[in-house]
Amino acid sequence: MTDQTDTAPGYDRGKVIREGIRDGIPIGLGYFVVAFSLGIAAKIAGLTPLEGFIASLLNNASAGEYAAFTLMAANASYVEMAIVTLITNARYLLMSTALSQRFSPKTGTLHRVLVGFDVTDELFGIAIARPGMVDPFYSYGAFIPALAGWSTGTALGIVMGNVLPGRAVSALSVALFGMFLAIIIPPARENRVVLGCVIVSFAASLLFSVVPLFASWSAGTRTIILTVVISSVAALLFPVSDDKLEQ
């Protein structure tokens, strides 16, 4: 588990952790706001504040967790929830691979596993942007406010969902859809392939929900099939060149 930075001359582990906490505070605040809306979805799925807190503590991923809560509300099976969560969070496998290449060869397996536990877009970004090797203790420091904001925001969202009027809960539940629109609109405006995938996804989802043959399938099954088929077809027809990946 020993990292070469632990024994490097002048290395201050406490300082590195504090730097991670400092850089993670803005991320944690942003996560808190988003997780509040996620808590509304968790409340609709029937989770208690404690259950929502634990769920977000163990799964720091907005899209994956929202998909899981939605499937819970639809009484989907455990297998469907597991597959949807795996597909939704698949991009983190790529981020973890990129991080692993920046670790010191002497970094132990436990450090790698612990850092991989909380790889998110933002936490990956601040870790990979630091010069030199990735220091796991910097990531540990950043995890503290990020996980705290995400899990407490979810729990508070459930609490407020239990005390607010039904109409207010319905209104707040729309906020998370707004967040996802904010995520997909910028890349869709810059890339016609992404825009096409978004339009096809919306149309196919509507079609699958009204056509008798597909409407009888569970929401989880429809989501799995559409995600895999549309993303696979897009990857085959419009592969990303190595030059674009390096930009």
- 219's CB contacts (< 8 A; 6+ apart) are 70, 71, 74, 76
The yes-or-no verdict on residue 240 having pLDDT over 80 is: no
pLDDT of residue 210: 86
The yes-or-no verdict on residue 246 having pLDDT over 60 is: no
Would you call 216 exposed, middle or buried from its count of C-beta atoms within 10 A (0-12, 13-18, 19+)? exposed
**Which span out of 135-149, 177-191, 230-244 was modeled with the highest average pLDDT?**
135-149
| Cα 64 off chain centre by | 6
Report how far residue 226's alpha carbon sits from residue 122's, in angstroms, rounded to the nearest whole number.
Answer: 27
pLDDT of residue 148: 95
pLDDT bracket for residue 245 (50, 70, 90): very low
